[in-house]
Structure 1
Amino acid sequence: MAALPVGVAGPNTATATTTAPLRRRLRLSRPDAAAALVFTALAAYVMGNQWRHPASGYLTGSGQDQRMWEWFFALAARSITHLDNPLGTVLQNHPQGVNLMANTAMFGVSVPLAPLTLLFGPTFTWTLVLTFGLASTAYAWYWFLGRYAVQSPIAAAVGGLFCGFAPAMISHANGHPNFVVLPLLPVILACVIRLSRGGGTRTAVVLGVLVAAQIALGEEPLLITAVAFGVFTLAWFAFRPRLAAAAVRNATRPLLLAAAIALVLTAGPLWWQFFGPQSYRFIDHGPMGNDLLGLLQFPRQSVGGHVSPGQDVAINGTEENAYFGWPLLVVVLASTVWLRREVAARAAAVTVVVLCVLSLGAELTIGRDKTGVDLPWSWLERLPLFESVLETRFAMGAVPAIALLLALTLDRALRERATLIPWTVALAVALVPLTPLPLQAVQRAPDPQFFADGSWRHYVTAGSVVTVPLPRPEDARALTWQVDADFGFPLAGGYFVGPVGPDKKAKYGPDDRPTARLFGKTQQTGIVPDVTDAMRAQAVADLTFWRADVVVLPAGDNDRVLRQTVEALLGAPGSRVDDVWVWDVRPLVRA
């Protein structure tokens, strides 16, 4: 979100357009260094529990997402060392495979950090990426606000602090690094502003490269930022319509050049994403809007949420995308009134309202009760790309706009002095309750000895390992076992996004075959099914489809019932190998 109108100089334009030597421009000032240090320290504090065990820690709020991301990071490193295609693989969901471009594989960090992954393991990379994401995003917005919106480094730091450690950022830090590593977004907006002011070809080239890089980090945050910036720009020119023509004239050709550069750089991966193997048309998440209470309450992982918890209205622990708290919204309203003569403040206020309304979804919900009130998302969700976005996440587009209002307010108070104390108190009342608490982490349980000691090698030739139940979004532990075994075997099933059915609609996890569903239901109910000859034939057909070499039952919930079910399906008892039950199905499948 740009704080200044495109085409109009701001209070710190001289800094942005300085002609000083490169050495001087790259020099880190004391305020910049202090901001970087504070943001890094706070990010380390938030991730502190995970850093205690950087090779084996597990964020409890991530569900199974941490396993999936570690698998992505480890596979990227393996693809480099084995010269494999990084965009797709059959090591998961064997033999159909996974389209990694159609998943959030984040090649923009997994590939550059591959050496660290190879040296220290994917859990270390995971922890480093999240820590870097929080700190770098905060600093990037501090840089942007300080050069395009406010004069005071303190005001810019407050805005950057909110952007980097907003409730949504902390929530996503449990399991979604693609919504945490966002430092390129303010730099992209800075380039757009420069182009609107007459920036040259070099800025257009830089913008194209940055957009391509952001696509490699995460496409959804780029889309949300584009919508938010578009709303801000339209609101700005609604208040200053005479400035629009010059901005459009300055920016049109350079923006087309930047778009062409970005398309050339990403054409291959994007083709693979939308048309390659295991691509899909869209993913239907169902209603995923914010509850209205989610805008007013404090996040669970904050001081305010700990002292004054509200009703649980979030989709899950990683999707608290609003949770601004009512004190902050009151301050935002007061700031808008106080700064009503400033166009940037009015445009920011419009953006906050529009993005928050979009995040509420197609129907207004209050306290998990549907009201029957239709909202604008019911029109927008039918558009291409938007149909696959979680509408709750559009609240993140309001975060930079709120940060802009806070920075503008504090900047003016610092200049006028007379209002500094009351506004400082107001900001403290609004922001202190949102102070994040360290994310909870534990040491994960060790892998089954069958995988850790390499016993699996005696049972795998060229086929897959079928765990019981198969790995899926509810339980993806097998992905970790595969990583620790250096990807020595492919897995049937998995945790990813892939197509289902002839219309290529996507779902999380594989297109489950009957035997996979049977295993899952058996574990859930704890009841051994009445196995028929048709079910036995189906099991053989499914194992053949998976090109299975071995069926493995590790210790877990209802494992005794599962063992009886597998024995009934295969007509043979399992063998106890190390700490798992094993059925060598190579003769059965080959026959």
Structure 2
Amino acid sequence: MERTAPETTGARLSRPQRFARRIRLARADLAIATGYLALAVLVLSGQWRHPRDGYLIKSGQDQTMWEWFFAVTAHNVANLRNPLGTNLQNFPDGVNMMANTAMFGVGVPLTPITLLFGPTVTFVLVLTLGLFGTAFAWYWLFSRYLVESKLAAAVGGLFCGFAPAMISHANAHPNFVVLLLLPLIAGQILRMARRAENEGGPRPFGRRIRDAVTLGLLVTMQIALGEEPLLIFALSFGLFGLVYYLHRPRIGLRVLRGIAPAVGLAALITVVLTGVPLWWQFFGPQSYRMIDHGPMGNDLKALAQFPSESLGGMISPGQNVAINPTEENSYFGWPLLLLVTVTAVLLWRELAVRAVCAVIVSFTLLSLGPSLMFGRGDTGFALPWKWFEHVPLLNSVLESRFTMAAVPAIAVILTLASQRALDFWRESASDWRPLAWFGALVLALVPLTPTILPVVQRSPTPAFFADGTVHQYVSNGSVVIVPPPIPAGARPLLWQADADFSFALAGGYFVGPTGTDKKGRYGPEIRPTASLLMKAQKSNRFPAIDDATRAQALTDLRYWHADVLVLPPTDNSGVLRNTVNQLLGFQGQKVNGVWVWDVRGIV
């Protein structure tokens, strides 16, 4: 895989000949990219087979939320509306899209795909290209800056792109799957650091400007894809650089002086390009200061267990200690942990190995949360996160996700060890060490081989919304689904998208502020009438309704600017219908398979 095509001599090549030559020279890159892409398609093949009505069952309601994000972004772009905020859900207060990880970096350029084929196609396309692109970008970084062997680099890229955390997030979180810009940012900083290390004098002004512009644009684009992964990457890459130069402080200071001007200018460029969106995110309408997730650390058992969506998880499932099926952020499996530990000891003289070990240990400790959990039981042992959980920005990160910083760090160790094994093989074909290494590598990685993510078919959109009948009942107000959508039941968001966003929704699935301290929460503040309807559905019992309850219902309808209440086919619909009849004082009508209460006359 490392052989390259011979240089062509003689007459000047034509454009097709030059293109063919580049293809020959890059055939290893192409072969590896093809393998990554094929694996990404295989993992998501269940969704690809049903691109319109398929649903990744482990996503909970997150797939619905992300599809809505992509759909409303395309709608706003097509209609030349501000994409940073919308009142199409949570009417009339609206939603701050910048504060909801809407991923404008893919949502805006993929607007034609969304408009032509629907948001589900955009969703699965983003996930597929995210797995493939992340793997290939790390492979590119390793093959250009870490090792000579492309086979060794391919091992590292494979682990980065298809690690258990990546597969887990591929169920529902594109912002933690599309990570291909992070290795490009690392590559740009490494390129600047190498120049500063090798060039003693001041660098040319033009080169500094080019470096700053490149770095600033990369960071800007990553902000448009996901800020939380960027924060975790920045902290871990900073720790890596600090430990790497700790044994060479003079060189480290030279590098710091050399890259500081370009990094500072890149930061300024980033602030200029992202100033308005970031202001909107932190100070605009429906912005919030932080999200109090509660304890969200990794369980210690999760580090050594196999992920649920893997061969090892099928054969040897462990105790379910993950926060939810989309947050299996550690789950490295005991064979890989054992292999990485032994390999790190054997390669300890390598500065890069020492640096990545510091990242693995530090960020794994942070990911365990404020108190050590083992088998879902709290041991009472305090951990470092308790000193960081109140730091601004960090306090909105799910601490479990800090383990994702260990993924490229582990990949560095696997890549360097693979390169060392191949070097031994070149020296002697009979050397037993390469065979031992690659045998151990296979035993460690095969149990982590991802399986096809499970998909179910979701029910179709009610005809009342799909055929446009809803238009007859809306006059610049909102549609109130009975009960209003919340994060646990967000399906109406896609009914709205299927109706081409011709109406606004009360309630929804988003992150917004609550209270005077503007602390973030998932979903809307639950109005009394919404709470009444949800309790009636859950208990399947008709609630007590008096004049005060009816007055409160009217107040809530006026708050929502309600035009119509709609009861779709759902659990315990009989109790819900009778409840709404009693609240409003008149009977609903059945229209296109749903019950409808036109309240424009009383609201």
Which bracket does the TM-score occupy, shorter chain normalised? over 0.9
Q: Which residue of 2 aligns with 1:91?
A: 88
Q: Which residue of 2 aligns with 1:433?
A: 447
Q: Which residue of 2 aligns with 1:160?
A: 157
Q: Is the 8 A contact 1:175 1:318 kept in 2?
A: yes
Q: Is the 8 A contact 1:167 1:299 kept in 2?
A: yes
Q: Partners of 1:23 and 1:44 in 2: how far apart? A: 27
Aligned residues: 569
C-alpha deviation, 1:443, in angstroms: 2.2
Q: Is the 8 A contact 1:197 1:251 kept in 2?
A: no
Task: Please say if 1:255 is aligned against 2:263.
Answer: yes
| 2:119 corresponds to which of 118, 122, 125 | 122
Q: Partners of 2:219 and 2:23 in 1: how far apart? A: 22
Q: Is the 8 A contact 1:101 1:273 kept in 2?
A: yes
Look up the equivalent residue of 2:472 and give its one-letter code: H
Look up the equivalent residue of 2:100 and give its one-letter code: N
The DSSP-based 3-state class of the residue aligned with 1:320 is coil
Q: Which residue of 2 aligns with 1:39?
A: 36
Task: Please say if 1:289 is aligned against 2:297.
Answer: yes
Q: Which residue of 2 aligns with 1:326?
A: 334
1:336-355 to 2 correspondences below 5 Å: 336-355=344-363
| 1:408 corresponds to which of 406, 410, 416 | 416
C-alpha deviation, 1:534, in angstroms: 1.0
Look up the equivalent residue of 1:491 and give its one-letter code: L
Q: Partners of 1:532 and 1:414 in 2: how far apart? A: 80
| 2:550 corresponds to which of 536, 547, 559 | 536
1:217-296 to 2 correspondences below 5 Å: 217-296=225-304
C-alpha deviation, 1:23, in angstroms: 11
C-alpha deviation, 1:488, in angstroms: 0.6
Task: Please say if 1:481 is aligned against 2:495.
Answer: yes
The DSSP-based 3-state class of the residue aligned with 1:486 is coil
C-alpha deviation, 1:241, in angstroms: 2.4
Task: Please say if 1:362 is aligned against 2:376.
Answer: no
Q: Which residue of 1 aligns with 2:532?
A: 518
Look up the equivalent residue of 1:540 and give its one-letter code: L
The DSSP-based 3-state class of the residue aligned with 1:331 is helix
C-alpha deviation, 1:61, in angstroms: 1.0
Look up the equivalent residue of 2:44 and give its one-letter code: M
| 2:166 corresponds to which of 165, 169, 183 | 169
Q: Is the 8 A contact 1:76 1:114 kept in 2?
A: yes
Q: Partners of 2:530 and 2:453 in 1: how far apart? A: 34
Return closer, same or farther for 1:122/1:143 CA change in 2, 3 Å cut-off: same
C-alpha deviation, 1:25, in angstroms: 8.6
| 1:110 corresponds to which of 103, 107, 127 | 107
| 1:456 corresponds to which of 470, 473, 484 | 470
In the superposition, the TM-score normalised over structure 1's length comes to 0.95
Q: Is the 8 A contact 1:196 1:250 kept in 2?
A: yes
C-alpha deviation, 1:197, in angstroms: 2.8
Deviation digits for residues 248-280 of structure 1 (CA, Å, limit 9, x no counterpart): 111111100110011111000000000100000
Return closer, same or farther for 1:430/1:254 CA change in 2, 3 Å cut-off: same
Q: Is the 8 A contact 1:194 1:203 kept in 2?
A: no
Look up the equivalent residue of 1:101 and give its one-letter code: M
C-alpha deviation, 1:533, in angstroms: 1.2
Return closer, same or farther for 1:271/1:167 CA change in 2, 3 Å cut-off: same
Task: Please say if 1:568 is aligned against 2:562.
Answer: no
Higher mean displacement: 88-97 or 572-581: 572-581
Q: Is the 8 A contact 1:87 1:100 kept in 2?
A: yes
Q: Partners of 1:119 and 1:365 in 2: how far apart? A: 47
C-alpha deviation, 1:237, in angstroms: 2.1
The DSSP-based 3-state class of the residue aligned with 1:239 is coil
Return closer, same or farther for 1:171/1:28 CA change in 2, 3 Å cut-off: farther
C-alpha deviation, 1:201, in angstroms: 2.1
The DSSP-based 3-state class of the residue aligned with 2:246 is helix
Q: Partners of 1:28 and 1:432 in 2: how far apart? A: 31
The DSSP-based 3-state class of the residue aligned with 2:373 is strand
Q: Which residue of 1 aligns with 2:4?
A: none
Look up the equivalent residue of 2:281 and give its one-letter code: Q
Look up the equivalent residue of 1:406 and give its one-letter code: L
Q: Partners of 1:98 and 1:342 in 2: how far apart? A: 49
The DSSP-based 3-state class of the residue aligned with 2:456 is strand
Q: Which residue of 1 aligns with 2:211?
A: 203
Structure 1 unpaired stretches of 5+:
1-20
Look up the equivalent residue of 2:171 and give its one-letter code: N
| 2:509 corresponds to which of 480, 495, 503 | 495
Look up the equivalent residue of 2:266 and give its one-letter code: A
Q: Partners of 2:272 and 2:300 in 1: how far apart? A: 42
Identity of aligned residues (%): 60
Return closer, same or farther for 1:114/1:537 CA change in 2, 3 Å cut-off: same
Look up the equivalent residue of 2:90 and give its one-letter code: N
Q: Partners of 1:371 and 1:235 in 2: how far apart? A: 31
C-alpha deviation, 1:198, in angstroms: 3.4
C-alpha deviation, 1:238, in angstroms: 2.3
Q: Which residue of 1 aligns with 2:60?
A: 63
Q: Partners of 2:343 and 2:511 in 1: how far apart? A: 42
Q: Partners of 2:279 and 2:358 in 1: how far apart? A: 36
1:179-198 to 2 correspondences below 5 Å: 179-198=176-195
Q: Partners of 2:49 and 2:21 in 1: how far apart? A: 39
Q: Which residue of 1 aligns with 2:143?
A: 146
The DSSP-based 3-state class of the residue aligned with 2:100 is coil
Return closer, same or farther for 1:138/1:581 CA change in 2, 3 Å cut-off: same
C-alpha deviation, 1:174, in angstroms: 0.4
Return closer, same or farther for 1:434/1:228 CA change in 2, 3 Å cut-off: same
Q: Is the 8 A contact 1:95 1:546 kept in 2?
A: yes
Look up the equivalent residue of 2:592 and give its one-letter code: D
Q: Is the 8 A contact 1:90 1:96 kept in 2?
A: yes
Q: Partners of 2:148 and 2:588 in 1: how far apart? A: 72
Look up the equivalent residue of 1:252 and give its one-letter code: A
C-alpha deviation, 1:27, in angstroms: 8.3
Task: Please say if 1:384 is aligned against 2:381.
Answer: no
Look up the equivalent residue of 1:481 and give its one-letter code: W
Q: Partners of 2:38 and 2:114 in 1: how far apart? A: 23
